[in-house]
Amino acid sequence: MRTKKKASPEKSQTAVKLGPRFLRAFEFAAEKHARQTRKASTIPYIAHLMGVSSLVLEFGGDEDMAIAALLHDVVEDCGGAPMLKEVRRRFGSRVAKIVDGCTDSDTDPKPPWRERKETYLRHLRTADAETRLVSAADKLNNVRSILADYRKVGESIWLRFNGGREGTLWYYRALLQEFLRREPSRLAGEFELAVRDLEDQANKRGPRRSFSPSSVSRSPGR
């Protein structure tokens, strides 16, 4: 007997209903991130979390995944491992699993940046489809924000990031390669467009660097 292959989140045709749990998650995220803003801006951090949750819903995620999107940074930025236990208690094991899968560090101090990112990239290789979708939505929202600010402030944008220009470009190239490695998806396609746009903008403003998947592992870190 042949086992029916489970559909990926993006292929779901069921209408998503958001209920009281989603509202509680929004309030929880808004409270925990209340004093945080996006890098080098006065934009409340909740704007990023709302953007990621919106993308998750747009690309086929359900309520648990949308909740995880709202909470995807709460462990890393607001309490570490004990916060993950709180997320599990309040919102369930599935949400906690996705949040954990989108967290690259739950310790303070965090490991060195390059080490964290390489570990996270290895983790993504075996992550389940719903965790990868939330992660890709997070990274897409980030790249789009970087692009918008890059067009405004130019090369000074790289001062916001620990490793500067080359480290940021390396990381998003590596993420792109990973998100394209499995079955193609609309979200991966949108991420590819954004990363290539960022690459093009960087090439126009600085030394030209060609992009190919084989160059990812050799790219310098930040």
What string of DSSP letters covers 57-112? HHTT--HHHHHHHHHTTHHHHHTSHHHHHHHHHHH-HHHHHHHHHT-S--SSSPPP
Of 90, 199, 77, residue with least CA distance to 138 = 77
CA–CA dist 127, 131 (Å, integer): 6
Q: What angle do CA 131, 135, 141 make, to 5 degrees?
A: 150
Non-local (6+) Cβ contacts of 194 within 8 A are 140, 143, 144, 147
Does residue 118 have an active-site annotation?
no
Of 211, 96, 220, 125, residue with least CA distance to 163 = 220
> What letter does residue 39 receive in the DSSP assignment?
T
CA–CA dist 6, 17 (Å, integer): 21
Residue 44 β-bridge partners: 37
Determine contact, residues 33/49, Cβ cutoff 8 Å: yes
The catalytically annotated residue of 63, 77, 118, 197 is: 77
The catalytically annotated residue of 62, 64, 73, 76 is: 76
Does residue 138 have an active-site annotation?
no
Tokens 């236990």 -> residue: 85
> Which residues belong to the active site?
76-77
